[in-house]
Amino acid sequence: MSFDLASLLSNLWAIFLVILFFGGSIFVHELGHFLLARRRGVHVERFSIGFGPAIFSWRGRDGVEYRLSWIPFGGYVLLPQLADLSTVEGKSNVDVEKLPPVSYTSRMLVFAAGAAFNLLFALVLATIVWIVGQPTLSVLATTKLGNVAPTVTLEDGKVVPNPAAEAGLRAGDIVKSIDGLAVANFEDIINAVLLGKGRTDDGRREAKFVIERDGQRMPITVYPQLLGEDQIRVAGVEPADDLTAEQILAGSPAERAGIQPGDSIVALDGKRVFSRSAVSEHLMKNAHQPTEFIFQRGNSQFTRTIQPQQETDERTGKPVYRIGIRYREYVIVVHPNPWTQIGDDVRMTFRTLSALLSPSSDVGPSKMSGPIGIARALHQQAQWDIRRVLWFTILVNVNLAIFNLLPIPVLDGGQMLFATISRLRRRQLPPNFIMATQSAFFVLIFSLIIYVSFFDVRRWARDVQADRTESPARK
């Protein structure tokens, strides 16, 4: 077994970024509560990152206990004047009755401050991303379809017609909207289908596409299938690739044919192509005879007849047929403005919540990500580019802000609901009722986190196993 120092350092750096940005997002949320409480004269007893027993703690000169706790599923600021959350945060050491009452306005401001700070943090990160750029795959920056396979394989191995092909979608179609929602890139297409709630009268899954073909818009209804171990809605479409040559390999058929960097493949043997896989499949099927290529160079097109040459695929070890073109890199850098980033994440969060609550969707708690899934996703982004970590952290903070404002006991939104009901009733809710309600919902939420984390770990193990299976083929 060889010791790969570069890989080790990369993983350590990624883990550091996970701790910094995931832990930082929780810290920012609790900091909002802390600062507003101090500003409004509310007694602050404890500031904790995590729940449960303390790993270590110290008491500041301001009298506040600061601690890092063992259960890393969030954090809290202990504010005994505002809410009795002793079942979650531990008992208070002060006599609340001796403290002055807190106004309704102060309660609402302090409870809302955590979400406000998450959104402010997200805006700061979004501004940084706007300036430095966000790396993304070029194929995800398009809504043009690159390949529509005739069939798809279900989890049980059964081969069925591809929903997109069956509906009449074609390579080259440009998707404009799905279920009435405009799409700006291929991730929008994937998410619109995955989070779709459309059903026909007989219960079939339904996604209403509007596409552009040959300059004309037309509606096409697709009936998605559930694919993969996670059983998510899939329409069966792939994005169009950039078929522009970045480099022409020396001595290759393409060089002998006079192909130059910047030339783009348009068609093979008279048929338009929009994906690299379509080019590879055509050359494989016609390996022993020349192929007529149509290339785009500037504003003009030209034709070349080229005989592909056999090579060995470095990843699979199988023979492939190529002409010696190295395509442009898949990764491009985009600069979305901060408000677009925040707005997209807000819309995605509400659409996800809507799908979770809808009986007609196929999105359930098992498809959600808990702390383990979020940390793993951050780790994956960190191994790619730190700018991707910033992008993902923006989404995490928007999610934290919206989730915490939901009117669910234990969450900030639940405390705001209790405070509002008490104000309308002109008297406090019974303490035993609040305690029992919060205890019940804490158990429910904690159980949900454990349930979701089980699926996070299972997905993680499955991906690790897939990587190990694929590794021998790469050697």
Token pair for residue 237? 């479409």
- Asked if 324 and 254 count as a contact pair (C-beta separation under 8 A), the reply is yes
- Distance, in Å, from the CA atom of 259 to the CA atom of 360, rounded to the nearest integer, reads 52
pLDDT (tens digit, 0 to 9) for every residue of the chain, 475 residues total?
444 555 556 667 777 777 788 888 988 998 999 999 999 989 888 888 887 888 888 898 888 889 888 877 678 888 888 876 666 666 767 777 778 888 999 999 999 999 999 999 999 999 999 999 999 888 888 999 998 988 988 877 888 899 999 999 999 999 999 999 999 999 999 999 999 999 999 999 999 999 999 999 999 999 999 988 888 999 999 999 999 999 999 999 999 999 999 999 999 999 999 999 899 999 999 988 999 999 999 999 999 999 999 887 776 677 888 999 999 887 889 999 999 999 999 999 999 999 999 999 999 888 888 888 888 888 888 888 889 999 999 999 999 999 999 999 888 999 999 999 999 988 888 878 888 888 888 889 889 988 988 888 888 888 777 666 655 444 4
- Within the chain, what is the greatest distance between any pair of CA atoms? 91
Can you tell me whether residue 174 is helix, strand or coil?
A: strand
How does DSSP assign 71-88, residue by residue?
EEEEEEEE-TTT---HHH
Instruction: Give which of 165, 295, 192 is closest to 243, Cα–Cα.
Output: 295
Give tens-digit pLDDT for 284-322.
Answer: 999 889 999 999 999 999 999 999 998 877 766 778 889
**What pLDDT was estimated at residue 2?**
45
HEC profile of 246-313? EEECCCCHHHHCCCCCCCEEEEECCEECCCHHHHHHHHHHCCCCCEEEEEEECCEEEEEEECCEEEEC
Number of residues that this document lists for the chain: 475
Give residue 413's pLDDT.
Answer: 94
Tell me phi and psi for residue 410, to 5 degrees: 90, -40
Cβ-based burial of 470 (10 A; exposed 0-12, middle 13-18, buried ≥19): exposed
Domains of the chain: 5-133+387-474 (no CATH), 137-239+330-334 (2.30.42.10), 245-322 (2.30.42.10)
* Beta carbons of 118 and 161 less than 8 angstroms apart: no
Distances (CA, A) of 62 to 46, 58, 95: 11, 11, 18
Joined tokens for residue 366: 């098992």
pLDDT digits 0-9 by tens, 91-119: 767 777 778 888 999 999 999 999 999 99
Query: What residues pair up with 305 in beta bridges, in sequence order?
Result: 292
What residue type is 432 in one-letter code?
A: N
Are 273 and 282 in contact by the 8 Å Cβ rule? The answer is yes
